[in-house]
Structure 1
Amino acid sequence: MRKALVLGASGGIGSALVNELVSRGTEVTAVARGKEKLEKLFGDKNNVSVVQGDALIEGDVLKAVQGMDVIFHAVGFPYQVWKETHPPCIDIMIKAARKYEAKIVMADNVYAYGKQYGQPVSESAKKEPHTKKGKMRLQMENALKESGVPVLIAHLPDVYGPNAESTMLHETLKNAVVNKPANFVGDITKAREFLYTKDAAKAMVELALRDDTYNQNWNIPAAHPITGKEILEILREETGYEKPVRAVSKSMIRLLGLFNPFMRELVEMMYLTEEPVVLSGDKYENIVGPLPRTPYREGLKETISWLKEKEAETAAV
């Protein structure tokens, strides 16, 4: 892979992908709607070309894909506009990949798996999503698989890390770093997976570099499931954080949804905080090798450091 395009390059997964690709000698075109943020993230990197573009504008995507070997889809849209954004985004990306004979690697979540019980979920598990968002993710997956384009779909649990702001764990971390009372979305005693973005990027790029990994789904699990209580213990030890943290339940989310469109759309996904989908990484480790598994303490320390730098920059403006 000599050249790669990252759509959604300014987000948590997108920016981690850009950095991982560059570290492996790949020339990267980083695309997002905000050029200023792209310049700030990658302006000092010789192997990165930053391009202001919109993944929903066909002309922007077609222009950016020319000469690329692989398109990395890391585009995120707000929950409340998924229906209007994700399907056309996938259609545009497929059209561009066909025209320029590029492969597609998509960073996906676990929604398409629906409710799963018992042991860690393998890629062969039957997908029977029961939510609107899960059904849409499965629709996107099927469209990619039926496109005739070489496709690699990576299923990721909830993520955290630098630039990963539209995440459940960010709701806790953003207040903790400024020593304010914080919210934790879901049961604080329930063990769930939180994947460090750098680990996700390392595994996805490793898969993308191989020829035998396409036209398949791959699970990329976190280091291990962890409870909110354990995360808070790490935060308090690393930062001295002493403020109270409120566990936000489904009923509280539903109430907040009366005033907040994002919270209204989050309600149906709260099952993942009550009955977590835990991914099996056996397929990856049996075929590719050991999964990247950054310890939570290390990943949280790096994320906290990024949040503090961002807070200092905001205060200086």
Structure 2
Amino acid sequence: MYLIGWSCAVPKENSMATQLVVGAGYLGSALARALVERGDTVAVATRSGTAVAGATARILDAADAEAFAAAAEGAATIFLTTGPRQYNRWPELWPPMFRAAIVAARRSGARLVLMGNLYGYGEGSPMPMTEATPQHPTEPKGRVRTEGWELALAAAKRGEIQVVEVRASDYFGPGAGRTSQLGSAFFGPLIAGKTARVFGSPDAPHSWCYLADIVATLLAAADYRGSWGRAWHVPAAEPLSRTELAARVNALTGNRGSLARLSPAMLRVLGMFVPFIRAANDSDYQFTAPFVVDAAETERLLGVAATPWEESLPEVIASYRALEAAGLQAQDER
């Protein structure tokens, strides 16, 4: 893990500077709202110019370096919270986005905060994974994320930019959509007392990151005045299997929802014809064995702590019930 000193670039302290959030999906929108609520000037950049209350909407193709640099002009921080929807096309679509973000940070002088994941640690990593765990990706999605991070680190080592990466395990939270392993396809059936179908082993212990804790870590990482050029892990409550989580949901709702595992054989066959499923199968190790993260360093240095299950689960259940009552859909990342 490289540690790049604060001297490699001069952060903008101008109170009129803008915080640029690239992406307005489930996470980007929540981050933008948090920045607005604390009084920051915020711009949200997406392909379609998605509006977030209190923020300026901008249209941006995040793979276009010139457009990205123009959007970042005057920004204090760039939060890259978007990503390609096409899971199977990550190796093709991520590299130009990483390069464009680096160009934008270099030209604008803005600090660059990358929203990352744990794919880069690869199958067979020791548990729990810490920020010091070596990256040795074992499938294409992990490799492209690792390569993008290394590209940004190289720019930081040359003194061109300031960059950190905030890495979270699988997310959940109020209104998370079907693309989340712990989203509407999990909670919806359980809340209704039906069967939720899950990918991987329902009995494998797993770290799950709550939306509010991801946002808090992004904010704290951006405000950190120590060394940059490093990764931070988002704190997670105690690792629980989906079987254990289903039991807790049932206890809170009084229902008898159940889980059924999607057939690995069927997924392998489907993966031969459906690229998205094939890409998901490549990282099934995350859900067939313990997948646990350690964020003690984040808790100690950034002062961010995980929301306990006793608080998060009731909030999530209430959110899906409210959406159902209003006839609305949960939100997927975009």
TM over 0.5: yes
Q: Which residue of 2 aligns with 1:303?
A: 316
Q: 1:219 aligns with which of 225, 233, 246?
A: 233
Q: Which residue of 1 aligns with 2:276?
A: 262
Kindly report which structure 2 residues correspond to 1:142-153, keeping only aligned pairs within 5 A, or say none: 142-147=150-155, 148-153=160-165
CA RMSD of aligned residues (A): 2.4
Cα–Cα, structure 1 residues 276 and 73, in superposed 2: closer, same or farther, change >3 Å?
Answer: farther
Q: Does 1:5 align with 2:26?
A: no
Q: Which residue of 2 aligns with 1:93?
A: 101
Secondary structure of the corresponding residue to residue 280 of structure 1: coil
Letter in 1 for 2:32: V
Letter in 1 for 2:22: L
Q: Which string of whole-angstrom CA distances, capped at 9 and with x for unpartnered residues, describes residues 275-296 of structure 1?
A: 333222122233233x321122
Q: Higher mean Cα deviation, 24-33 or 132-141?
A: 24-33
Contact map agreement 1:169 1:184 (CA 8 A) in 2:
no
Letter in 2 for 1:50: A
Letter in 2 for 1:274: T
Cα–Cα, structure 1 residues 200 and 51, in superposed 2: closer, same or farther, change >3 Å?
Answer: same
Q: 2:168 aligns with which of 137, 156, 168?
A: 156
Q: Which residue of 2 aligns with 1:71?
A: 78
Q: Which residue of 1 aligns with 2:133?
A: 125
Q: Higher mean Cα deviation, 126-135 or 296-305?
A: 296-305
User: What displacement does 1:92 show?
Assistant: 1.0
Contact map agreement 1:108 1:155 (CA 8 A) in 2:
yes
Q: Higher mean Cα deviation, 124-133 or 233-242?
A: 233-242
Which structure 2 residue ranges, 5 or more long, are not aligned? 1-12, 330-334
User: What displacement does 1:116 show?
Assistant: 4.2
Q: Does 1:167 align with 2:183?
A: no
Q: 1:29 aligns with which of 25, 31, 43?
A: 43
Contact map agreement 2:235 2:296 (CA 8 A) in 1:
no
Secondary structure of the corresponding residue to residue 235 of structure 2: coil
- Percentage of pairs with the same residue: 28
Letter in 2 for 1:149: I
User: What displacement does 1:246 show?
Assistant: 0.9
Structure 1 length-normalised TM: 0.87
1:32, 1:178 → 2: CA distance? 35
2:88, 2:219 → 1: CA distance? 30
Q: Which residue of 1 aligns with 2:10?
A: none
Q: Which residue of 2 aligns with 1:278?
A: 292
1:178, 1:145 → 2: CA distance? 47
Contact map agreement 2:19 2:40 (CA 8 A) in 1:
yes
Q: Does 1:194 align with 2:208?
A: yes
Letter in 2 for 1:22: V
Contact map agreement 1:110 1:277 (CA 8 A) in 2:
no
Letter in 1 for 2:142: G
User: What displacement does 1:183 show?
Assistant: 1.0
Cα–Cα, structure 1 residues 261 and 164, in superposed 2: closer, same or farther, change >3 Å?
Answer: farther
Which structure 1 residue ranges, 5 or more long, are not aligned? none
Contact map agreement 2:213 2:235 (CA 8 A) in 1:
no
Alignment: residue pair count:
307
Q: Which residue of 2 aligns with 1:51?
A: 58
Letter in 2 for 1:61: F
1:197, 1:315 → 2: CA distance? 19
Secondary structure of the corresponding residue to residue 182 of structure 2: helix
Q: Which string of whole-angstrom CA distances, capped at 9 and with x for unpartnered residues, describes residues 96-150 of structure 1?
A: 1111111100111001111345442222222111111111111011011112310
1:313, 1:222 → 2: CA distance? 30
Q: Which string of whole-angstrom CA distances, capped at 9 and with x for unpartnered residues, describes residues 236-289 of structure 1?
A: 233344344212253342234345432221001100112333222122233233
Q: Does 1:108 align with 2:116?
A: yes
Contact map agreement 1:121 1:278 (CA 8 A) in 2:
yes
Contact map agreement 2:191 2:257 (CA 8 A) in 1:
no
Letter in 1 for 2:153: K
2:89, 2:164 → 1: CA distance? 25
Structure 2 length-normalised TM: 0.83
Greater relative contact order (Cα < 8 A, sep 6+): 2
Contact map agreement 1:71 1:102 (CA 8 A) in 2:
yes
Q: Which residue of 2 aligns with 1:183?
A: 197
Letter in 1 for 2:149: E
Letter in 1 for 2:165: I
2:45, 2:166 → 1: CA distance? 20
